[in-house]
Amino acid sequence: MIRLDDVAIFVQTVDSGSFSLAARQMHISPGLASSAVQRLEKALGARLFVRSTRTMHLTDTGTRYLPHARAMLAALAAGQHALQREGDAVAGPLRLSAPSDFGRNLLAPWLDAFQKQHPAVSIELRLSDRAVDLFSQPLDAAIRYGAPADSGLVLMPLAPDNRRTLCAAPSYITRHGRPTELDDLTRHNCLRFIWADQVHERWRFFPPSERAGERVVEVRGDRISDDGDVARRWAIDGHGIVYKSRIDVVDDLRAGRLVELVPSAWCEPAPLNLLTAHRPAAASSVQQLRDFLRARCLEHLSRI
């Protein structure tokens, strides 16, 4: 029997980087934190951490289990939140901005399900890969990748462990070959897109062999779009290699429409967040949406 307290300690240990720091944050002893993770490992029949006297890091099994653990805790929090707010009507307009690819292919159908749970909510959805000013625009929240430049915004993580992925269609690989090294990307047709008014053409990677910690490859290609969904569709049609948020291409990878070209651990982090300028009139709806979307994101990423 897996105890949710043990799962929570496991996730906190990952986020903190050590048993002692996790224990301090959770107001328990380091020994209790260590015992909880050992108990979870025994229940799962697998090691989650590789430990030494100075370091501790996730095993491959631990890395695969982490999104499921986060999803369990998110579902628990969502249930508790729903009970706490039982009787509170979530109603009124909810005005959102989201990236084009995520918004069109994932968020839109998820909002259908959200409205079924809260039929008194009306949705206004604006899709754009440009940064929006939540203080000047008539928006209650925005979904964006990475940390906001404006520290006055409230950041609520939806998929904190999301990363980019380097991928291409099997048809492209058949015609042009598969890059065997990151520098090979300079000889391939790379599909670029505009994000926050800048062409995303300096692709960052974190291979374990890189002494500097990261490798930046400046890529070129014959197609650029200001819509991330267009770049993804070009890749599926075999026009080149794309470096996209992994959450956007999970279904394409599962179906074989796209193939990952390097390990996901090498790719640039792309945490997905819900941002708000904290408008009190929409606070309840935004919090409910945050819990709903976080559970959906974690479940979606755990499918591959």
Q: Give me the amino acid identity at 33.
A: A
**How many angstroms separate the Cα of 286 from the Cα of each of 95, 113, 133, 216, 275?**
10, 15, 17, 37, 10
CA–CA separation, 26 and 19 (whole Å)? 10
The reported pLDDT for the residue numbered 73 is: 83
The end-to-end CA distance of the chain, in Å, is 25
The token pair that represents 213 in the structure block = 């910690």
Domain architecture of the chain: domains with CATH: 4-83 (1.10.10.10), 90-158+272-301 (3.40.190.10), 164-266 (3.40.190.10)
CA–CA separation, 58 and 56 (whole Å)? 7
CA–CA separation, 128 and 123 (whole Å)? 16
The reported pLDDT for the residue numbered 282 is: 59
- Judged by DSSP in three states, 13 sits in helix
pLDDT tens sequence across 127-178: 988 877 777 678 889 999 987 666 677 888 999 999 999 999 999 999 999 9
pTM of the predicted model as reported, rounded to 2 decimal places: 0.69
The reported pLDDT for the residue numbered 87 is: 47
The reported pLDDT for the residue numbered 70 is: 86
pLDDT tens sequence across 104-114: 999 999 999 99
Q: Which residue has the higher pLDDT, 181 or 82?
A: 181
What is 123-139 written as a DSSP string? EEEEE-SS---TTTSS-
